[in-house]
Amino acid sequence: MKTTALITARMGSSRLPGKSMMPILGKPMIERMIERVRHSQYIEQIVIATTELMEDDTIESLAARIGVGCFRGSVQDVLGRINAAAVVCDADLVVELLGDNPLVHADLIDDVVEFYKESDFDYTASVTTEYPHAGPELMQFPIGTRVEVFSQAVLDRCEELANEPYYREHSTSFIYEHPDMFRLGYFEARGKWRYFNRPELTFAVNYQENLNMVRRIFERCYPVNPNFPLSDVIRTLDSDPTLRPLMGSPSYGSAEV
């Protein structure tokens, strides 16, 4: 079973245009994210799923330069883009990641993949406040570190059934908004992840201040350990009161990918 990380990213964000290529310690944000994803023991190939717009030529060029795949599809139909990318890349198991989540870490990816493999779920994800049917009693991760795992077969089913524009734009929303149709498994911030039970936090890069915060976290952590864990992110945030105001709130809105 080939496990493929599909990273949705584009240059045309209305809130922070060009954010995918904005530098963090001298490299584009999407490249810094991919450096972290490459440490996964389960990911066999990495593919950036971007759009057919000319402005995203730069993302395709980056993918070629750093040796990852690139698939180009619809701007608004993100579900169709992801599904077509998975088919072209011959992916059996899909790990979907958002390109504006540069702090996501391979350790979390691997634990969510293991949770999926050891279960009988159709879809698993590190649970955050973004899930309307997840109970408030669940121990939730910060926004900006979400890992979603599902099979190509589930994606095909979504492609067939999800016809409303909202579901096409938000690629996996049809799955987690229909718990009557799909077996959902939420990976909680428990056990070794209990320090990350911080649903009030968001590390997604939607605005310039978010990027400034992430840059400062990289500046503090990367020189000590280029593959710095998420525990270092929390320690850095909690030790520096000037970082929290740059975060905004989890209600900032969904990613533009």
Give the tens place of pLDDT for each residue, 160-198: 999 999 999 999 999 999 999 999 999 999 999 999 999
Nearest Cα neighbor of 184 from 112, 144, 134 is 134
Interval 45-59 mean pLDDT = 97
Q: Which range is least confidently modeled, 62-71, 117-126, 247-256?
A: 247-256
pLDDT of residue 193: 98
Task: Return the SS3 of 199.
Answer: coil
Q: Residue 14: pLDDT band by 50, 70, 90 thresholds?
A: confident
Closest Cα partner for 171 from 141, 140, 150, 188? 150
What stretch of H or E contains 96? strand 93-98
Whether pLDDT at 254 is above 60:
no
pLDDT-derived band at 255, boundaries 50, 70, 90: low
Dihedral sign computed on CA atoms, order 70, 71, 76, 77 = negative
HSE value, Cβ hemisphere, 13 Å, CA-based, for 41: 7
Residue 86 and residue 171: Cα distance in Å, rounded? 13
- Rounded Cα gap, residues 55 and 100, in angstroms: 17
Mean pLDDT for 113-125 is 97
1-5, 106-110, 120-124 — which is least confidently predicted?
Answer: 1-5
pLDDT band at 253 (very low <50, low <70, confident <90, very high): very low
Which of 92, 81, 86 shows the shortest CA–CA distance to 53?
Answer: 81
What is the structure's pLDDT at 32?
Answer: 98
Name residue 96's beta-bridge partners.
Answer: 6, 148
Find the largest Cα–Cα distance for the chain. 48
pLDDT bracket for residue 250 (50, 70, 90): low
Residue 141: per-residue pLDDT: 97
Average pLDDT over residues 201-225: 97
Domains of the chain: 3-252 (3.90.550.10)
Backbone angles phi, psi at 235, to 5 degrees: -60, -40
State the number of CA atoms in the 13 A half-sphere of 133 facing the CB.
14
What token pair was written down for 212?
Answer: 């400034």
Position 249 scores a pLDDT of 65
For position 13, what pLDDT does the model report? 84
What pLDDT, on the 0 to 100 scale, is given for residue 6? 98
CA nearest 141: which of 181, 161, 111?
A: 111
* pLDDT score at 132: 81
Q: What is the pTM of this model?
A: 0.95
Mean pLDDT (whole number) for 129-135: 87
Sheet containing 93-98: order of strands? 69-73, 45-51, 3-8, 93-98, 148-151, 123-126, 184-187
Output the pLDDT for position 108. Answer: 98
Q: What residue type is assigned to position 16 of the chain?
A: L
Q: What is the mean pLDDT of residues 232-256?
A: 81
92 closest CA partner among 6, 22, 159: 6
Q: What pLDDT was estimated at residue 256?
A: 60
The letter for the amino acid at 139 is: M
Q: What is the pLDDT of residue 252?
A: 41
33 pLDDT exceeds 60?
A: yes
For the residues 136-162, what does the mean pLDDT come to?
Answer: 95
Contacts for 245 with CB less than 8 Å, ≥ 6 apart: 209
Tell how strand 93-98 and strand 148-151 pair up: antiparallel
160, two tokens? 């067939």
Q: What is the mean pLDDT of residues 100-129?
A: 97
